[in-house]
Structure 1
Amino acid sequence: MMNNSHGYLIFGDKNKSILWAKEKASTILNISINTLGSYQDFSNEDYDSFGIDESRRLKERAFMRPLAGENKVFVISSHAFTVEAQNALLKLFEEPAKGTYFFIITQNLNNILPTLISRLVMVRLEDKSISNEEEDIATDFLSSNPAKRLLFINKIIEKKVKGEMDEFLNNLESMAVKKIEKKDKIFISTMENIHKSRKYIGSRGSSPKLVLEYLALSLPII
């Protein structure tokens, strides 16, 4: 039918993310967005934490036949997804049932596994879009060799207080998604290194400079 992926990972502003998912769902299901709530093949669920039990129920429902049409849409919003739940969903997102679409919404990318990210189309819906300057910094960082990256770390640190480091990591991630083929092993390793950096930057007493030095030496040149 239309050019829709079977799986999306949407992060950023929650209200914008839900609206975006509903607009996509109304197109996929060929119904008005106002009637989604009562439509049998549309599911919109919100969790504090999405665990292994929720993933099993989702898998069971995903392989049931649609009741009203040819397609089904699942919108899942959660602040956290357990590692067990994500591992259980890998196969589902890699080989989804025909006519089944998933929209995964979170404001916390810190606990999303790179292997899960690789199976979904990432959509970033922040309150503010990435500026040209921020995009240029992230692009220059990724395209430079490790020696050059280390040289302009101080320049980045001058503009990035620790509270803004998550934003820089988001920009690196967005640029990597644009520039690397998801099936490439480099994509997984890049996401894993950014994932590790997010965890570290969130810990007490972490050093933004050490995070950048780690990324400068570990990320591939793209």
Structure 2
Amino acid sequence: MRHHAYVVVGDSEAGVKAALAHIERELGLKAARNPDVIVFRYGLLPVEEARRIISIAHQGAIGGEHKAVVIVASRIYHEAQNAFLKLFEEPPRSTTLYLIVPQIGQLLSTLRSRVAVLEESKKQVALPELATDFLRATREKRSAIIKKLTSGTDEEERRENRDEALALVSGIEQAVYSAWEGEPKLAALLSDIIVLRSHLYDRSAPLKMILEHLAIVTPQGLLAGRHGLAK
């Protein structure tokens, strides 16, 4: 039975290829140069863009009976995810939705419940450089990174810093999943990350306090795998 909304987890380019292949196979739509196959690409997807996508998704197909909307995003603000809920629960009958994200944990549970997992890409997403630096850093160097991320002097710089902080948290989550072999400490860390990220999507949340807590609970040996945790 064909679903009306799918999520592809993993590398963005591999995810797009998987979505387009599914569109051609299941919907019978030619993916290339087709106005009824629309791909949106974002680093951070804000609520304003979510509303624009919703409007376009409700427009009828141009060349036939079916239309596909592919949304690629590294991160999606919670306001944007909430805006998507009605669309993903009841999209127009002619429209099939595809959401491509690096980690399924980035999605609110209410949005996750409205999508079927089409594929989890086997291609590993590279860790952001900031996340790698943070994971390898001493406590003092982590404090320096946090100071830089919380020293914005105007609204634009503060927004960019929060975006970097979201990328940092997602990168640490990715590293945890890669190192996880049933380790209880990592399970607790994942729970912390989910809570911390939910706060980061709230633009009024205290960024410095969130990152300081992350610095305390994240082990330095995480990139070394299971053995690094014992150090």
Identity, % of aligned pairs?
25
Which deviations, in whole Å up to 9, do the C-alpha atoms of 1:69-110 show, x marking residues without a partner? Answer: 111101111101011000011011111110211111111444
Equivalent AA in structure 1 for residue 75 of structure 2? A
1:1-222 correspondence to structure 2 within 5 Å: 3-32=1-30, 36-122=31-117, 123-127=119-123, 164-167=175-178, 196-199=191-194, 203-206=214-217
- Cα gap change, 1:169 to 1:101, in 2 (>3 Å): farther
On the 8 A contact 2:103/2:174 being kept in 1, the answer is no
Residues of 1 paired with 2:218 and 2:189: CA distance?
A: 15
Structure 1: give runs of 5+ residues left out of the alignment.
Answer: 129-161, 172-192, 209-222
Tell me what 1:217 maps to: none
Q: Secondary structure at the match of 1:22?
A: helix
- Cα gap change, 1:16 to 1:65, in 2 (>3 Å): same
Tell me what 1:184 maps to: none
Residues of 1 paired with 2:75 and 2:67: CA distance?
A: 24
TM-superposed deviation, 1:205: 2.2
Q: Secondary structure at the match of 1:37?
A: coil
RMSD: 3.0
May I ask how many residue pairs the two structures share in their alignment? 149
Q: How high is the TM-score relative to the length of structure 2?
A: 0.56
On the 8 A contact 2:43/2:74 being kept in 1, the answer is yes
Equivalent AA in structure 2 for residue 19 of structure 1? K
- Cα gap change, 1:85 to 1:23, in 2 (>3 Å): same
TM-superposed deviation, 1:31: 3.6
TM-superposed deviation, 1:168: 6.7
On the 8 A contact 1:55/1:85 being kept in 2, the answer is yes
Q: How high is the TM-score relative to the length of structure 1?
A: 0.58
